[in-house]
Structure 1
Amino acid sequence: MITERVSEHKAILVTGKARSERNREERAFWLFLSPWVIGFIFFVGGPMVASLFISFTSYNVIESAQWIGLENYTNLFKDNLFFQSLKVTAYYVLLAVPFTIVVSLLLAVLLNFKVKGQSLFRTIFYAPTIVSGVSIAFLWSWLLNPDFGVVNSIIFQLFGVKGPGWFTSTDWVVPSFVLMRFTALGSTVVIFLASLQTLPEELYEAASIDGAGRLTRFFKITVPLISPVILFNSIVTLIHSFQVFTEAYVITKGGPEWGSFFYILYLFDTAFAQFRMGYASAQAWILFIIIFFFTMLSLWISRKVVHYENDNKH
């Protein structure tokens, strides 16, 4: 009996110590997480709730907000500039997302080859990512200048024809902004490169023995194995593409003839040029709904095409 009681007492002590240790770890967890939680509440969550309220009001910063219900939202769907900005942004997204994913993946494959100066090449391709967006915009406005730009000069030297108007042409202005993505691929390339370096060499060796060429190995092994990473980069690129602003604001201001009047540019103009904060907040929430919808759609579609390592269906 005494031995049993001693054992029970020891078990209680051990349980108490384990519970105390868990409580201490839990307190440490919330302590280290608290800066992010506080920052999210005050700088993200709080402003989101405030903007939702403001979207139902008429508010110009100077005067008090006046409740007008759904008027801002109904007015949006009567606004020609709203639909123009959506059309321009949708066109950009349709071009920018495939361009970013395909080019980033190809660059990552090339940078994964073990060649002399590999680290230097990786640094060169990533470096523009850390440069200010305004600086990159000025650089591209010079490169794609239709009169003395480097790109048109090269086109004339090689083919003997005059290059397109780029930022001054309604047909070429959006593709010009897509082309600018080439200097913003660094982060996407790094993520692809990291995923490529985790792939097992045994699969490639076995495929080579079976006679599979490089293209076959790429599409049958590489692409399926990194499909979750492709999905992640696609969603991130999709979200960023809907929010293009800096380049258009610096180079074209929405021109020519509203050809680069992106959604965020219109939202910015509404909020900080016209001071129609209620209307701008409604625009912001419409954009949130659009991005959320396409993100969920991408996740739903991905269930049939994305390969996961522990997925028993594959």
Structure 2
Amino acid sequence: MTWLITGGAGYIGAHVARAMHGAGEDVVVLDDLSAAVPERLPGGVPLVEGSTLDGDLLKRVFADHGITGVVHLAARKQVGESVAEPVRYYRENIGGLATLLDAIADAGVRRLVFSSSAAVYGNPDVDLITEDTPCLPVNPYGETKLAGEWLVRAAGRAHGISTVCLRYFNVAGAAAPELADTGVFNIVPMVFDRLTRGEAPRIFGADYPTPDGTCVRDYIHVADLAEAHLAAARRLSKDAPAGDLTLNVGRGEGVSVRELITLIGEVTGDRREPVTEDRRPGDAPRAVASAERAAAELGWRARLGVPEMVASAWAGWQRHHGL
């Protein structure tokens, strides 16, 4: 097996590339480098610069490297940006996937792991979100991930491609400081950024129907997420007949925003009180995964907790910001 990992030099992609390469899988990375750090990749892993929108490039990559499976992570993923630029999100996330699926079918590849998101669910009013919870996305990013799942399954049925769609919950942490997230789009680096600038963390809404009034989320360590991709790829390697799986990737445990900020204060030593601002539109009071299906289908469970996520993310933040 030789696996093509699209978006494999990004924050999550580099963790997946390292996990699969470290487990003895042959991997090739395709990345347009728009949000990538090529130095994240382990030595010996080929890196091809380019976009999944480039069908001719994809054909060459499949032929030159003898690709037999694909892990597709390349996509735009910022909710706010998707609201401001919906056409761009549909063009890159859906158009890029469609072009990739054409190349997969033409090359006779029969295995695909698709990076999806819990954003497909929208804001369900349930204690635990299962894979059978209705999907009602509330922003263009979530819409593109749900439409991407539909397209993946349809192409799988049409061309005999076995597929796994992994619905990520909130990703945090780093397997090593050099692999840490360099963006400031998710809550952990956002709090780090505020503290580094001498400002108090922000809580958007403290009057939700939760134990402490703040939103509750399910956080997954990026190293565990990478292991889930490896488990999915190996499941597809073993299964000869075509089929499809859709699986949540989370810990099945909720942590409130206030609890997370308190933990960040303990790790960083900066325990200043957060300031409370108005709710943000679209924030659900609670979004926690049921991760039982992934355990049953892949033999995978998350091993690392929120303290490990925060401590490893802080080590990476310090490295990247010279602290």
Q: TM-score, normalising length from structure 1? A: 0.21
Q: Which has the higher contact order (CA 8 A, sep 6+)?
A: 1
Structure (1/2) with the larger strand percentage: 2
- Higher helix proportion: 1
How does the TM-score come out when normalised to structure 2?
A: 0.20
Larger CA Rg, structure 1 vs 2: 1
